[in-house]
Amino acid sequence: MARDRSVILRVVQNMFLHVFLMTVAVACLFPLFWMVRSSLMSKAAIFTDHGLIPRDPHWGSYATAWVKGDFGIYFLNSVLYTVCVVMGIVIIGSLAAFAFSRLRFPGRNILFTLFVAAMMIPLPGSFVPLFVLMSKLHLANTRLGYVLCMINVGLSFSILLLKTFFDKMPTDLEDAARIDGCSRLQIWWHVALPLARPALAVIVVYNALNVWNEYILATLLLSDKSLMPLQRVLMVFNGAYQVDYPILMAGLTMTALPIIGLYLLMQRYLVKGIFSGAVVG
Amino acid sequence: MAFLPANRAMAVRPADAARNFFFVLPALVIFAVFYIYPFFELLRLSFHDWQGIGPMHWVGFQNFRELMADKVWWNSIGHAGYITLIALTFQNALAFALAIACDREIRLKRFYRVVFFIPPVLSEVVVGILWNWILHAGVQGGEQVGLLNNFLVEIGFPQMVHNWLSDPKTALTCIAVVHAWKGFGWGFLMLLAGLQTIDRQMYEAADIDGASPWRTFWNVTLPLMLPVIIVVVILTILGSMQVFVLILSLVSQGLVYHTEVPVTRILGAMSGTNQFGYACAQALVFGAMLIVLSFGLKKLLNRVRWS
Amino acid sequence: MRHAFVRLSCVVLFLAIFGCGRVDRHSETVELWHWMTDRDETLQKLARQYEQETGVRVHVELFAPSDAYSNKIIAAAQANVLPDIFGLLDKKPIVASFIKAGFVEDLTPAFEADGGAWQAELFPPAVDTNRFLPGNVEGVKPGIYGVPIDLTNIQLVFNRTLLKKAGIAEPAKTLDGFLEQVATLRRVGVTPFVSGFGEIWLVDCFASNYAFNILGEEKVMRTFQGEVPYTDSGWIEVLRVFDRLARAGAFMEGIVTKGNKYAEQDFALERAAFAFNGSWCVNVYHDMNPALDYGVTTLPAADPLLPMRSWGGAGSSFVVSAHGPNKEKAIAFLHWITRRDQQIVLTHETYNLPSNREAVVALPEVLGGFLRTMAHTTHPMIWSHSEDPVVVEALDKGIQAIIIGDATPEEIAARVQKVKEQQLRKLRRPGGF
């Protein structure tokens, strides 16, 4: 009897939980749905057809956006920037975070505080000096310059998050590795990084999204179409005067897909219970 | 708790310290080149009167004195504070609740995990266009144009139809809600990653001890999650205090001064009224306030951990 | 196998970043940076045509949105890497600073060559917005510094269908008449007026039109100089225009937080009978609703005995970098692009008014209307004085407050005057400028 009641309670609880989760899910999915829906409408229908599903879907906007916006080249640029910046941040940031968490050297706490403090100062004020600096270093209008700038933008946050996770992690495995004669660098690569996978997954997604959606620094630092990232196309589509909404929405959908794909990929590391064996706490 | 070897009472040999230092060197070089130089330029400009072009005039602390007396500026900090408060409470509570739900063995959890992260992925352009359509206050042919107002009429509450974004009473709250909707995915993601690092055996042990779910949450989950919560709190503060793209896309250049936040003031001073020096002083003061706030909160939350 | 792949991709990435990262340009190529998303294709096309005709390569680069463009120009000026041709989207004092700092070439000799042939081809208002007159308060050497590539003005557009529905034959010429029409429109359930009043500059334009109408240009200029206070009855009358319109229910709900893009959408979809917008709207409305039946007229005058003016002149202008290696080529290209044939291409592909008088052929009807209202225009670039942008912000934000019923015209006038006095004190301070 009591068992039955607890089963019923569970089912009711689960129902409420799912209703709650579904409500949030719908609120999250709606814009995506709406974006895709608008991209399938004709220019004339977009303001007049209020139906949820376009009566007469036009797939042509995607082709038009791809060709008209020269998506191909910008897409490649964005992929290149994203991969480089994310790799750079993961390596540089995790090295630093590992040191801040595990290694001892003079000025450690002050340096860490400086890194965290740096992300609090809003960037807009420093655009002009940044550009002047990049020009002096001959890095303005180069891929390298943009990548380094973007690494800098994401570094503080990544170090903070990774250090937090390193601090949380057990040292047993590292101690064992040390006794086996592993160097610090080997411990970082073979022990610390694999253990920090969920945090690394967050870092990868965060920084990838940051670079993927960035255009202010790109416009400032780059002066050639051939070097520009994907967001430039969207800014042009979303121009000051006339906006072709179906094409803009098609462009936005195509831009959002790779990031959603990356997130799906990273989910594995984010969610898999890789800590089931290790003792945490 | 985890031990930091560095915290053990043992001396570090200078050679070791130097080798350890190499780990932070790449980060430090990038930081020094791309942050420190612009920062000192920012500092220098904040003591000048400058239009962005042409001659600079040294004015000493004039910009800072003006800032102290600038009511609009201090109000803008209050507005950002309000948005942040809603983000810290409402948005983070939602994120935490969803993360806990998705950490458990429930059906469709993979679906939920993907879907909750969609708003952060979306471009601000889509968010702006979509919410402008939802909150539109106009009428056409006797019918409400905006989705929300239209919905209110449909369900029989025509008296609740409102000028959502143009009424000082509701504008800021609307912005805060849209911001929370756009941002909770990040907290969800980080908290979920944190929850995943908690050993299942801890829960099982608590279950065997007969602890209620609430007690397990309070005694097991919360203490273990505190470091991640601190990071999420700091990031929420940063993200919400520095919000501006969303505001520009929802209320254009602002509803009188009721929707001004520090970053819109800084941008306005730079490109609207051409006071570069003043904008730099604003950025510095604002940055300093955020540093004090974040580190203060971190200290406070850390103390909670030990009490 | 896997390691080999990883290594290979690392090498490829390395090459991509360091190898072909920098694009080297020939110094003979004329660099042009612009911000006009709607005209990029046409400009690219014209540049290609120019290269075929003359062998001179013009590299057209677009930067959007315009805020990012302005940032880039300021940063490029500081680093001394401005392109041969660029645009200055800023207010008159900033344009003057660019010229005084030696970044902008004086184009007067080119315009005056051959007995002023180039100047004679163009509409005078388009040239005037690029001219600094002798004795200007900014202290710029008198002359023409920019090349106008189009012509624009900002007026009242009206939806014929909606006006007919309310039984209105013609938009009123006076403010009192307009207020009556507003009441009529409200009675039949039509929203009377929309504009992008979430954007400061549109509020400013609307207000300055009424200031010119009520106070007259001379008194407005004296206000800017600090001789007439904003608490003057004339200025209160200007602020009252907004109060009266708001009380009559003229404005669309939510107008003060509306970007012009959304306001344009509202008018194109027939959600409002009137809109205050520039001649670029012809292109926008055509795109969103080709069937829209609308016309253009001047704003209703508050004082019918005095002229009603609105902002107009060059819509977009280019300047030539004084430090560039290709000054002559750049000027030649800009001259070419303002010639009749090229202007016709620009007009017909982008629905803008041409800056060249001879290019007015087969204009769309509404664009013709805008051309007629060009006679009643003025522009901040041709005023003898400029208001401090801090005061402008206070005034325009104050007007928004009046529209939403947050403050009375008298309160706003007092507030703006206080800001004005503050800025004047700063100006008189030693070292101020």
pLDDT of residue C184: 95
Res. B38: pLDDT tops 90: no
> Which of A85, A168, A178, A244 to substitute to test the interface with B, most B CBs within 10 Å?
A168
- C336 and C209 within one domain: no
**The pLDDT value given to residue A280:** 37
Q: Is C269 on the interface with A (CB under 8 A)?
A: yes
Q: Which residues in chain A are contacts of C259 at CB distance < 8 A?
A: none
Burial of C332 from C-beta contacts in 10 A (0-12 / 13-18 / 19+): middle
Q: Would you list which residues of chain A are within 8 Å, Cβ to Cβ, of chain C?
A: 43, 47, 80, 83-84, 87, 127-128, 130-132, 135-136, 140-144, 147, 215-216, 219-220, 223-227, 232, 235-236, 238-244
Kindly report the number of other CB atoms within 10 A of residue A114's CB atom. Answer: 15
How much is the pLDDT for B181? 92
Residues C239 and C347 occupy one common structural domain: no
pLDDT, mean of residues B196-201: 78
Closest to B235 measured CA to CA, from A268, A141, A202: A202
**Pick from C36, C75, C268: CB nearest A220:** C75
Radius of gyration over alpha carbons of chain A, in Å?
A: 24
Residue B129: domain span = 63-306
* B45 shares contact with chain C (CB less than 8 Å): no
Instruction: Provide mean pLDDT across the span B151-167.
Output: 87
Residue C23 counted as domain residue: no
Chain C residues near residue B253 by CB distance under 8 angstroms: 198-200
- Mean of pLDDT values over A89-117: 90
Asked whether the predicted pLDDT for residue B10 surpasses 50, the reply is no
Could you tell me if C88 and C120 lie in one domain? yes
In this structure, are C139 and C162 located in the same domain? no
Higher pLDDT, A126 or C259: C259
Residue B10 within any structural domain of the chain: no
**Residue C382 contacts A, CB cutoff 8 Å:** no
Q: Mind telling me how many Å the CA of B151 is from chain A's nearest CA?
A: 14
Q: Is residue B253 domain-resident?
A: yes
Return the higher-pLDDT residue of A244 and A85: A85
Q: Are B168 and B258 a contacting pair, CB within 8 Å?
A: yes
Segment 272-311 of chain C within 8 Å of chain B by CB: 272
User: Using the beta-carbon criterion (under 8 Å), do C97 and B53 form an inter-chain contact?
Assistant: yes
Q: Which of B130, B132, B148, B166 to mutate to test the interface with C (most CBs of C within 10 A)?
A: B166
- In terms of Cα–Cα distance, which of C318, C317, C321, C319 is closest to C27? C321
Of A17, A93, A108, nearest to B101 by CB-CB distance is A17
Q: For C58, list phi and psi in degrees, rounded to 5.
A: -115, 120
Residue B2 confidence (pLDDT) above 60: no
Residue C177 belongs to a domain with what CATH number? 3.40.190.10
Neighbours of B305 (CB within 10 A): 13
Instruction: Give CA separation, B232 vs A109, A171, C10, in Å.
Output: 21, 24, 33
Assess if residue C19 is contained within a domain. no
Are residues C126 and C51 part of one domain? yes
For C28, counting Cβ atoms within 10 Å of its Cβ (0-12 exposed, 13-18 middle, 19+ buried), the class is exposed
Average pLDDT over residues B167-177: 92
C228 and C207 in a common domain: yes
For C254, the closest of B138, B254, B268 (CB atoms) is B138
Please name the residues in contact with A86: beta carbons below 8 A apart, sequence gap of 6 or more: A203, A204, A207, A208, A211
Q: Are residues C262 and C395 in the same domain?
A: yes
Say whether B138 and C266 touch across the interface (CB within 8 A): yes
- Check whether B148 has a pLDDT greater than 70: yes
In a domain, B232, yes or no: yes
Query: Residue C224's pLDDT is what?
Result: 94
Q: Does C44 touch chain A (CB under 8 A)?
A: no
pLDDT digits (tens, 9 = 90+) for B93-111: 999 999 988 887 778 888 8
CB-based contact B253 C198, cutoff 8 Å:
yes
Confidence of residue A274 (pLDDT cuts 50, 70, 90): very low
Reply yes or no on domain A70-237 having CATH 3.30.70.270.
no
Residues C282, C173 share a domain? yes
Instruction: Give the residue from A103, A183, A215, A257 with the most B CB atoms within 10 Å of its CB, the best one to mutate.
Output: A103
- Per the structure, the complete domain to which residue C416 belongs is given by 153-311+388-428
pLDDT at A214 over 80: yes
Query: CB of C288 within 8 Å of any CB in chain A?
Result: yes
CB–CB contacts below 8 A, A to C: 103
How large a percentage of chain A has pLDDT more than 70? 91
Under a CB-based contact definition with an 8 Å cutoff, are residues C431 and B59 in contact? Answer: yes
Chain B positions in Cβ-Cβ contact with residue A209 (cut-off 8 Å): 120-121
Give how many domains chain C has, as a whole number. Answer: 2
Nearest CA in chain C to A231: C64
Nearest residue, CB atoms, C71 vs list A220, A236, A239: A220
What would the two tokens of residue A81 be? 């920037």
Residue A277 pLDDT? 32
Residues of chain C with pLDDT under 70: 1-26, 429-433
Same domain, C114 and C200: no
Q: What is the 3-state secondary structure (H, E, C) of C109-133?
A: HHHHHHHHHHHHHECHHHHHCCEEC
CA distance C13 to chain A (A): 7
Looking at residue B161, its pLDDT comes to: 85
Calculate mean pLDDT across residues A127-155: 89
Nearest-CA distance from A226 to chain B in Å? Answer: 23
In this prediction, residue A2 has a pLDDT band, given cuts at 50, 70 and 90, of low
In a mutational test of the A interface, the residue from B103, B125, B127, B282 whose CB has the highest number of chain A CBs within 10 Å is B125
CATH assignment of the domain containing B232: 1.10.3720.10
**What band does A272 get if pLDDT is binned at 50, 70 and 90?**
low
Contacts of C258 in chain B (CB under 8 A): 252
> Which residues does chain B have within 8 Å of residue A174's beta carbon, measured at their own beta carbons?
5
Asked if B106 reaches chain A (Cβ–Cβ under 8 Å), the answer is: yes
Which string of b and e fits B42-78 if b means at least 16 CB within 10 Å? beebbbbbbbbbbeebebeebbbebbeeeeebeebbe
Q: B233, B266, C21, B34: which is closest to A153 by C-alpha?
A: B34
Q: Are residues C87 and C200 in the same domain?
A: no
Domain count, chain B: 1
Do C284 and A143 count as a contact with CB atoms less than 8 A apart? no
With beta carbons under 8 A apart, name residues in chain A contacting B279.
Answer: 124-125
Q: Which of A21, A91, A137 sits opposite B112 (nearest CB)?
A: A21
Residue C308 carries which side chain, given as an amino acid letter? M
Q: How many whole angstroms separate alpha carbon C88 and alpha carbon B51?
A: 14
Q: Which of A101, A124, A199 sits opposite B270 (nearest CB)?
A: A124
B274 contacts in chain C (CB < 8 Å): 90-91, 93-94, 389
Q: Which of A84, A142, A238 sits opposite C22 (nearest CB)?
A: A142
B271 and chain C in contact, CB less than 8 A: yes
Q: Are residues C73 and C213 in the same domain?
A: no
Amino acid identity of C395? L
Q: At C155, give phi and psi (nearest 5°).
A: -140, -175
pLDDT, residue B9, reads 39
Judge contact between A202 and A270, C-beta under 8 A: yes
Q: What is the pTM of this model?
A: 0.89
Using CB atoms, which residue from B5, B34, B118 is nearest to A148?
A: B34
CB-facing half-sphere around the CA of B119: CA atoms within 13 A: 27
In a domain, B97, yes or no: yes
